Amino acid sequence: MLRYGGFEMNRKMNRHPFIISVAVLALVVFVAGNGFAQSAKVHIKKGIPYCSAQFPGKDKMQKLCFDFYEPDNPGDTLRPLVITLFGGGFVVGTRDWTDMVAWCNRFAENGYAAASIDYRLMSATEFSYKSLVRTGYMAAQDVSAAVRFFKANYEKYGIDTTRIFLLGQSAGAVAIIHALYMDEDERPAETFEEPALSSMHSTGSAEMKRHTFDVAGAVLFWGSIFNTGYIDADEVTPVCLIHGEKDIILPVDSGYAFSVPGLPYVYGSRVIADRLKEMGTTSFESHLLEKEGHAFYFRYLSMYYLDALKFDSCYQLASAFMRKQWRREK
């Protein structure tokens, strides 16, 4: 077994392309499309650039965009913002997948602003240990860039910068977790290989670089971390961990992603919660659901069909957690 930058991998992985093919197929099973109906109470603007970045395997910089949702009659009051990130194993996914549209509509209907963002993905043909390490780190950089973009442009979008929340599922949650907890001296060695990647919170325009990544909280659906040692006592952003006990894609405890030896060994929400307790952190909550698996608010192993009752339960957990942070501030 080899360990690199907090990851573990099997020495034989590169000798078995079938393992990689199975892993990629498992990711693609979740792809379907979009088509969630837009609420009449919500105004949406699509395809707004927030940053330019170099994608894995590409030479040129490309734009990263977001779709912005707000109440149809927003008024003059600055609103809390929820930034959402789709799942898809850093290989597939779009900002207009069904659950992202549903999250943003629901929050905007209830007085929030919401933004579903792009982040960098790798091609399935480039799927490898090194590419996964680097792309996951790039996605975390993009999370930071999005937060700092909205801080730099808060007046234009009517954002209360003290109430910016992050919400991600699967790979989206993984990106958020590492943006929150990975320090510069904890970066995997692969992120320094050519072309070397910049530090976590340094991407974006000059104006964006004047702002910090600090957020009011994060809601993390079936996410994981590559090394629990990234979580230090001084990292106290409130988090809400939601995870199914029967998850075999990103286990609630620890194990190989997708249950495939040779893919990254990851640590799920129960282990993250234990680490937070160990560090003396009290501003977190954990909801581990005994009968649920990965991405359990979807039906039929597809990102097209949402289970309305389960999605609503998840929304109630997320919104209650966010309101709790407001009360704590007071």
How many Cβ atoms sit within 10 Å of the Cβ of residue 327? 7
Please state the domain extents for the chain. Answer: 2-329
Q: What is the pLDDT of residues 7-66, one digit of tens each?
A: 333 434 444 444 444 444 444 444 444 444 556 689 999 999 999 988 876 777 889 999
Banded model confidence at residue 328, pLDDT cuts 50, 70, 90: low
Banded model confidence at residue 261, pLDDT cuts 50, 70, 90: confident
Most confident of 146-160, 191-205, 251-265: 146-160
Is 6 a residue whose pLDDT tops 60? Answer: no
Is 308 a residue whose pLDDT tops 70? Answer: yes
Is 298 a residue whose pLDDT tops 90? Answer: yes
Banded model confidence at residue 176, pLDDT cuts 50, 70, 90: very high
Helix, strand counts (H, E) of the chain: 7, 12
Q: What is the pLDDT of residues 272-291, one digit of tens each?
A: 999 999 999 999 999 999 99
Q: What burial class does residue 309 get, using C-beta atoms within 10 Å of its C-beta: 0-12 exposed, 13-18 middle, 19+ buried?
A: exposed
Over residues 292-313, the mean pLDDT reads 88
Q: Tell me whether the omega of the peptide bond preceding residue 195 falls within 30 degrees of 0, making it cis.
A: yes
Question: Could you tell me which residue, 196 or 104, shows the higher pLDDT?
Answer: 104
Q: What pLDDT shows up at residue 329?
A: 54
Average pLDDT of the chain is 87
Quote the percentage of the chain above a pLDDT of 90: 69
Q: What is the pLDDT of residues 110-143, one digit of tens each?
A: 999 999 999 999 988 887 778 888 999 999 999 9
Q: What pLDDT shows up at residue 30?
A: 47
Q: What pLDDT shows up at residue 74?
A: 67
CB under 8 Å, gap of 24 or more: what pairs does 59-67 form? Answer: 64/117, 64/118, 64/119, 64/120, 64/142, 64/145, 64/146, 65/95, 65/117, 65/118, 66/95, 66/115, 66/116, 66/117, 66/118, 66/146, 67/95, 67/96, 67/104, 67/115, 67/116
Q: What's the topology of domain 2-329?
A: Rossmann fold (3.40.50)
Over residues 235-247, the mean pLDDT reads 97
